[in-house]
Structure 1
Amino acid sequence: MIIKRVGSIAAIAIVGALALSSCASNEAAPSSSGSASSSKAVSGTINGIGSSAQGVAETTWAAGFQTANPDATVNYDPQGSGAGRTSFISGAANFAGSDAALSDDELKSTFAGCAAGSKAVDLPVYISPIAIAYNVSGVTDLTLDADSIAGIFKGTIKKWNDAAITKLNPDAKLPDAAITVVHRSDDSGTTFNFTQYLASQAKSTWTAEASQTFPFKVGDAAKGTSGVADAVKNSTNSVTYIDESGAGDLAIAKLMVGGTATKISADGAAAVVAKSPLVTGRESNDLAINIDRTLTDKGDWPMVLVSYLIACDTYKDAKVGKVVKAYATYAASSEGQKAAAAQAGSAPLTDKLSADVATAAATIK
């Protein structure tokens, strides 16, 4: 999927939904060159590559941004977070969408599209809970904890009626059937966040470090959010980890958090992010978040991903920088966040984080 200029019926429908979402709010969108409330339109084309989890949100942001800026074009290709970062570093993309911030080593790269001596910045624009989506014969209500999830995806728990699962689900009719694990085949920020959660919360079972690539040879592999969703839909007794926006009609397991079986929620994901600190040792306009996976307050959903718009702080082409700056500002605005929440089911940034991203985006040149 490549998102281009608004013109299709689907895109018009998204714009309508965006407008309805905006009108329903009592909060005014912040004034910026990217906001639909601004009179200062920008022009030019920018190309992004990256996170498939961001795909619906990017469609929504592009629709609203291009409506407010008729001479601007936003192209976004959801090849995956790893492909996005690689393409941005090489200069093949003007910005990246990534479910993981740039690593310290990546920050040392020479960014082909950035001005000499400038750096890249990580701007959080999308928050979503990671779901454990399943298709199990006769099961519509399932609870799992970190250890059972780790056992399933490591391959040490092989059947749905394993004692570790039945203990958490005493009333469920779990089949005596093999578990088909489905994981991402590509370099994925969703995989990174998922494995980071397990490495933190299931240390006795999950023996691998957090990784962009799935670390164990178990089950079936599929590319992208839509790929793992389709694989589970078409395979009985299967399970995957997935950005909630891509789960569709698949059943989603509850997660044991602090001893309570907790339903997945965007609010719970947002709460965890709001209570988590920034990564230390970075520039003031780099807002990479160090997610605290140990939080267990009521409703918290610590299996969460924060997805970033990665941009140059100074572009070689100032015209490109102006459009990226406006687009990032719009994506993080109250207007953009509410539209994405309505279409993708993401968790809107808090007012403080939205303001912090706007301040950071304002430094882009």
Structure 2
Amino acid sequence: MKTKRHGAVAGLIAAGALLLTACGSDNNAPAGGSTTSGNASGVAVECGGKSKLNAEGSSAQKNAIDTFVQAYQQKCAGSDLAYNASGSGAGVKNFLAGQVDFGGSDSPLSESKGEVAKAAERCKGNPAWNLPLVFGPVAIGYKLDGVTDLTLTGEVAAKIFNGTVKKWNDPAIKALNGSATLPDKDIKVVYRSDESGTTDNFQLYLKAASKGAWTQGEGKTFKGGVGEGKEKSAGVAQAVGSIDGAVTYVELSFAQENKLSIAKIDTGSGAVALNDESVGKAIDGATIKGTGNDLVLDLNSIYGTTTAGAYPLLLATYEIVCSAGYDADTAKAVKAFLTVAATDGQAGLKEAGYAPLPKAFQDKLLTAIKAIA
């Protein structure tokens, strides 16, 4: 997910759209006031409570949060949220310490690290919920002169990124691409040299989808043992854009900005292009392994999907909130912000490189948000 350049633009786009939908609204409460209004999804928003929320965490969702804030300010006059994109670790740490109203994280709270218990203590004896609010598609982006339509499977992708498949005309790639003319050219892997949630999710995808071809492990450090490392998403995308025969994994917006070709992925039901519809199908098919309104995802249900038309390579980020235990003003504002984010706030996400929520998943989130006490 793009974290630097599209935030302001996406925010303006979202704000412009929201201005149109808000015409005639009676939502003109002063700061700290309370009003109820509908939104584009027909869901009531109970504005009011704490006038300025504080949140911190994942940089991967920063531009999405910026878009949500624009929508929140428009929907609930006088309300605001400050988000510090300090990284998932800091977001969880400061949420547990009660320093922020909610945390943003690329992964849910860890029971083995004691985070679940500490969150219950922070929430005055109530459990914290992990709400997956922001999804960003990850592209397998490449530059190969004369080839702009390419299909890969999880297995072949794993073999490319661990160096088993070394040439673009390797029989394993040719078998997936019919009559396409593939050059006898070296594959040049470019990977993230810095620790990255994108790397972690990509390696989890390879582990789940490669039929055992990926044995290198997982984590935020690339473990494929092949290629050249570059820092940040911008670095890998720019490098691939300047090298014929190069390939990387990168958030969609960076691939688009650098004019990279994007591989289709065949999960067993035919080649699937990366688009809103295919990403939505993958999100819709996600299994929740958390209980009740704790919406922790089973990522294998996304990464290992065989659903026709579903694009499986996504990064999900969570908002970590108290299910109860806030003071009344904070609870009201948290619920208002999250409700706007899950509804009107979706309008500007595509321009910022994220995936808008499909209706069925949106409903699950709204049910959980409404239950915050």
Same fold, TM-score > 0.5, yes or no: yes
1:330 alignment partner, SS class = helix
Kept in 2, the 8 Å contact 1:42–1:71? The answer is no
1:47 alignment partner, SS class = strand
Kept in 1, the 8 Å contact 2:132–2:295? The answer is yes
Q: Specify every segment of 5 or more residues in structure 1 that has no aligned partner in the other structure, as ranges.
A: 35-39
Distance in structure 2 (CA, Å) of the matches to 1:276 and 1:10: 27
2:212 alignment partner, SS class = coil
Describe the superposition over 1:277-300 as per-residue Cα deviations: whole angstroms up to 9, x where unpaired: 2104x3x22111224134323211
Distance in structure 1 (CA, Å) of the matches to 2:188 and 2:21: 40
Describe the superposition over 1:258-295 as per-residue Cα deviations: whole angstroms up to 9, x where unpaired: 15222112222221222232104x3x221112241343
Q: Normalising by structure 2, what TM-score?
A: 0.79
Kept in 1, the 8 Å contact 2:283–2:358? The answer is no
Count the aligned residue pairs.
349
Change over 3 Å in CA distance of 1:274–1:12 after alignment to 2: closer
Describe the superposition over 1:240-272 as per-residue Cα deviations: whole angstroms up to 9, x where unpaired: 222324422321111112152221122222212
Q: Which of 232, 250, 261 matches 1:251?
A: 261
Which residue of structure 1 aligns with residue 70 of structure 2?
Answer: 63
Change over 3 Å in CA distance of 1:270–1:74 after alignment to 2: same
Kept in 1, the 8 Å contact 2:129–2:320? The answer is yes
Change over 3 Å in CA distance of 1:159–1:320 after alignment to 2: farther
Q: Which of 98, 119, 142 matches 2:105?
A: 98
* Counterpart check, 1:48 vs 2:62: no
- Calculate percent identity across the aligned residue pairs: 33
Kept in 2, the 8 Å contact 1:91–1:111? The answer is no
Q: Which of 275, 279, 291 matches 2:285?
A: 275
Distance in structure 2 (CA, Å) of the matches to 1:10 and 1:251: 23
Q: Which of 16, 24, 30 matches 2:43?
A: 30
Distance in structure 1 (CA, Å) of the matches to 2:320 and 2:224: 29
* Counterpart check, 1:157 vs 2:170: no
Kept in 1, the 8 Å contact 2:168–2:187? The answer is yes
Q: Which has the larger radius of gyration?
A: 2
Kept in 2, the 8 Å contact 1:140–1:251? The answer is yes
Which residue of structure 1 aligns with residue 32 of structure 2?
Answer: none
Distance in structure 2 (CA, Å) of the matches to 1:236 and 1:79: 35
Which residue of structure 2 aligns with residue 37 of structure 1?
Answer: none
**Structure 1 residues 164-203: aligned runs within 5 Å:** 164-169=172-177, 170-183=179-192, 185-188=194-197, 190-203=198-211
Q: Normalising by structure 1, what TM-score?
A: 0.81
In structure 1, give the amino acid aligned to 2:322: C
Query: CA offset at residue 221 of structure 1?
Result: 3.6
Kept in 2, the 8 Å contact 1:91–1:113? The answer is no
Query: CA offset at residue 64 of structure 1?
Result: 0.9
Q: Specify every segment of 5 or more residues in structure 2 that has no aligned partner in the other structure, as ranges.
A: 24-38
Which residue of structure 1 aligns with residue 363 of structure 2?
Answer: 355
**Structure 1 residues 195-344: aligned runs within 5 Å:** 195-248=203-256, 249-280=259-290, 282=291, 284-291=292-299, 292=301, 293-314=303-324, 319-333=329-343, 335-341=344-350, 343-344=351-352
In structure 2, give the amino acid aligned to 1:140: T
Query: CA offset at residue 90 of structure 1?
Result: 4.9
Query: CA offset at residue 199 of structure 1?
Result: 1.2
Distance in structure 2 (CA, Å) of the matches to 1:76 and 1:160: 43
Kept in 2, the 8 Å contact 1:21–1:339? The answer is no
Describe the superposition over 1:167-225 as per-residue Cα deviations: whole angstroms up to 9, x where unpaired: 3334234352341322362241x333322221122133101444344333433344544
Query: CA offset at residue 132 of structure 1?
Result: 0.6
Change over 3 Å in CA distance of 1:353–1:13 after alignment to 2: closer
Change over 3 Å in CA distance of 1:265–1:330 after alignment to 2: same
Distance in structure 1 (CA, Å) of the matches to 2:362 and 2:58: 21
Change over 3 Å in CA distance of 1:10–1:192 after alignment to 2: closer
In structure 1, give the amino acid aligned to 2:296: A
